[in-house]
Amino acid sequence: MLQQHYLKQEKIDRLIELGDCLDIGQEIGLCSPFSDDVGEVWDDIKPTYGDSVKAAADGHRHGDEEYLYAWDGSQWSMIDG
């Protein structure tokens, strides 16, 4: 989904601003961000940034992520949770 529908930086920025998502749709309006869930703490689901994909992923781990996805400015990467 990311590699097919999220390749323009403006759309990627909007997706990242949602924080963690349960589902990602072809359009932003079809995404299911955890921020819509009552009781979610923004600090746990907000976007995480770092000097490298690994640094960003390590700073975001909460123990229950199955996968982490990162945009490095040119391509998407997936990291096992």
DSSP state of 55: H
How does pLDDT run across 16-57, given as a tens digit for each residue?
Answer: 999 999 899 999 999 999 888 777 888 888 888 888 877 877
- Provide the pLDDT confidence category of residue 5 given band limits of 50, 70 and 90: very high
pLDDT recorded at residue 70: 87
Could you tell me if 33 and 18 are in contact, meaning their C-beta atoms sit under 8 angstroms apart? yes
pTM of the entire predicted model: 0.84
pLDDT recorded at residue 62: 65
The domain total for the chain is: 1
Could you tell me if 52 and 79 are in contact, meaning their C-beta atoms sit under 8 angstroms apart? no
pLDDT recorded at residue 56: 78
Q: Which domain holds residue 19?
A: 2-80
The mean pLDDT of 2-21, rounded to a whole number, is: 95
